Amino acid sequence: MSRANPTLLALLLVSGCSAPRPVVPLFDSRVPLEPLLAKLKESGGDPGRILRPRASADLATLESGRRYKFVVRDGRLAIAPLPADSPSNDYVHPVLAAGEPVRTAGGIRVEHNGSSIRKAVVDQDSKAYCPTAASLDSALTVLAGLGVPADRLRVDNRPPACVDGPTAAASGPRYGELMAEVGRRFERLGRAFRANRLALAEFELGEIGEVFEEDLPKAEPPRESAGVNLAGVAQAFRETNLPELESALRSKDPAAFKAAYARAAETCNGCHRTSGHAFVEVPAEPGAAVPRLDPLR
């Protein structure tokens, strides 16, 4: 058997007979960084608190089972120091990446017992970067490099509702749709607290916060608002009522929660009245249906 010609082998490799290395794309942020950094500073946040794990043990500092926002940039993870459903959480994806392009972005949920990791789940839900599901391979690679066993890595396919994309104006959510979602979650928030399901109540409150922070600013404005500054009202609700509800939840005090819930409902009703939508009434009682559907007399 004759020996292979090394020159011929080199020519074959150069000509493309070897498998090409996969191209890993980068994703640019679709929102400006400066306003997000200003909002982070106003809320008392600090980019220096962003987590940058160097080993799997560092992931155990995350609250087990809670979802955190993350990005992969320059081959490393950057994770928000607060769970994604925490009210007034301004550690959004562009802040985590300092506005730079990323390999992927989304959420990470780590289940652990304080030392060993049972499961690590990642998703691509980042409205600012709009990454693909395939991009999560880069997150799995980094997690494996940190020492997370491959059989404990999972992917949760959560396509993001991208902002500022080519079809954003045509496909963006309407203001009314988002308000309907807030109503449903506000009702579940009250019902969950009354049932002593505080984890569910915290989740619903966090989701309401995300709607006010991320979705409403990009929503198609309503056709009829009677000249009301809806952005200002929404900001006041996010900065006043949501923190009050969060504080009441943490105190586990039914009286405090009922009072905070009633104040939040009145804020909603005040906006509805002044904007010409007084017929959309939010009950002050936690657990009551939203909107109120009692028969009129």
Looking at the chain, the domain(s) classified CATH 1.20.120 span: 173-274
What is the average pLDDT across 178-191? 94
Between these two residues, 70 and 215, which has the higher pLDDT value? 70
CB atoms within 10 A of CB 59: 22
Between these two residues, 6 and 76, which has the higher pLDDT value? 76
Give the H or E element holding residue 186.
helix 175-194
8 pLDDT more than 60: no
Task: Return the CATH number of 173-274, one of 1.10.10, 2.40.160, 3.30.70, 1.20.120.
Answer: 1.20.120
Between these two residues, 52 and 219, which has the higher pLDDT value? 52
23 pLDDT more than 90: no
Distance CA(93)–CA(108), nearest Å, equals: 12
How sure is the predictor about 297, in pLDDT bands with cuts at 50, 70 and 90? low
Average pLDDT in the chain:
87
Per-residue pLDDT of 191-212, as tens digits, reads: 999 999 999 999 999 999 999 9
Token look-up 């909603």 returns 268
What whole-number percentage of the chain has pLDDT above 70? Answer: 87
Question: Phi-psi region for residue 114, left (φ > 0), alpha (ψ -120 to 50) or beta?
Answer: left
Query: Residue 223 has what pLDDT?
Result: 66
Which pairing describes strands 104-112 and 117-123: parallel, antiparallel, or unpaired? antiparallel
Per-residue pLDDT of 134-151, as tens digits, reads: 999 999 999 999 999 999
12 pLDDT more than 80: no
Angle at 244 between CA 242 and CA 248, to 5 degrees: 115
Distance CA(60)–CA(126), nearest Å, equals: 23
Query: Residue 14 has what pLDDT?
Result: 43
What is the average pLDDT across 256-279? 94
170 pLDDT more than 50: no
Angle separating helix axes 254-274 and 242-251, nearest 10 degrees: 160
Query: Residue 214 has what pLDDT?
Result: 85
127 pLDDT more than 50: yes
5 pLDDT more than 70: no
Distance CA(67)–CA(83), nearest Å, equals: 6
